[in-house]
Each structure stands twice: as C-alpha cells, then as structure tokens.
Amino acid sequence: MSKLAVYPGSFDPITLGHLDIIERALDVAPRLQVVVVHNPSKQPFFTLPERVQMVTDALIERGLIGPVTVDSLESGLLTSYAAKLGANVLIKGFRTGVDIEYELPMAKVNRDLTGIETIFLPSDPANTHISSSLVKQVASLGGEITKYVPAAVIRGFKAKA
Ligand code: PNS
C-alpha cells in the first residue's frame, strides 16, 4: 500500500466528482496530497489561489483535512514535485474512455520519468456526467449547479459575479 499519494488536477473548479475520488483515494493511501496545478494548455476561470481555497474549504466542510492536504504547483514537472514530497503514487479519476485516452499517455510518461505509478479510480456512476467545464458553462448562463459542486464553489462563483 502506498503511504502518500498525489491527486493532481486543474480543479477549475473542484466538483463532487473530484471529492468522491478524494474520499475513495484514502482507501488506497492513508495520506493524500491534492495538488492544484497550473495547466498552461487551459485558460482557467478561477485563479490558482482561488482554486486552492475552494478545494481547502470543500475538504474542511467534509472533515477531510488531516489525511488530505492541499497544495499548488505553478510550474515544473508533477513527477519532480511528487518525488520531492516522497509520494509513490499518483491518483487520477476517469469518467469514460475519453478520459482514459487523455490520461494514459501522461501516466506512461510520468512512469518513464521517475517510475511513479498512476492508479486510476473510475468515477461513481452518479458523477459520470459532471465536469468542471460543464459546471462553468451552466453557471455562466445562470443555471443551477448545486447538484454538481460543493458549497465552497457556489460561494466562489458568487464572489466572482
Ligand atoms: O485537470 P487537468 O487539467 O486535466 O490536469 C492535468 C495535469 C495538471 C494533471 C497535467 O497537465 C500535469 O500533470 N501537469 C503538470 C506538468 C507535467 O508534469 N506535465 C507532464 C505530464 S506527463
């Protein structure tokens, strides 16, 4: 069993799907570091500090801070970050085969770089349709997003309005 796992992502914003993966990752590793990563190929709606704050607040609301910690990665390789931390596994969630096609090359390159393994957790069927991009689209058009995101994210959108 791994001692420390890293769960990276853009989390723009964190959704109930991400939170489900975080809770279930604790069955794989006793400690999990969630890392909010700046992904230069994406134009984020929320800033990196805003995303870190929403992830932290959502984890506090669920009583998960302790076994789960939150950090951010502005630049540099995820594998170097994980190695410095002493983490021996990456956690990724996937909803469909499309996610796997996107994630699999990254898992292989990350393993090439430092030997770190990636564990894929399938999303709960109840969350398969939830994505950060759909949440942003619905929210920007005035739709209801409470079924998809934690309260911290609702507050985050209100603060940006
Ligand atoms: O939520 P996302 O945007 O799909 O997450 C992708 C992310 C941030 C995990 C990925 O882009 C990443 O690991 N970025 C860090 C830089 C890095 O190590 N790149 C090489 C990946 S093989």
Q: What is the CATH number of the domain that holds 151?
A: 3.40.50.620
Give all strands of the β-sheet with 117-122 in edge-to-edge order: 68-73, 31-37, 4-9, 89-94, 117-122
CB of 9 sitting under 6 A from ligand 1: yes
Domain residue limits at 20: 4-160
Q: Is there a contact between 21 and 123 (Cβ–Cβ < 8 Å)?
A: yes
Establish whether 72 is a catalytic residue: no
CB of 123 sitting under 6 A from ligand 1: no
Query: Into how many domains does the chain fold?
Result: 1
Mean pLDDT, consecutive 10-residue segments, the chain of 161 residues?
90 98 97 97 96 98 97 98 97 97 98 98 97 98 97 97 87
Kindly report the pTM of this predicted structure. Answer: 0.97
- Residue closest via CA to ligand 1's atom 20 equals 77
Which of 37, 80, 96, 132 for a ligand 1 pocket mutation test, highest count of atoms within 8 Å of Cβ?
A: 37
Establish whether 132 is a catalytic residue: yes
Sign, CA dihedral 12-13-17-21, equals positive
Query: What pLDDT sits at residue 37?
Result: 98
In three-state secondary structure terms, 147 is coil
CB of 93 sitting under 6 A from ligand 1: no
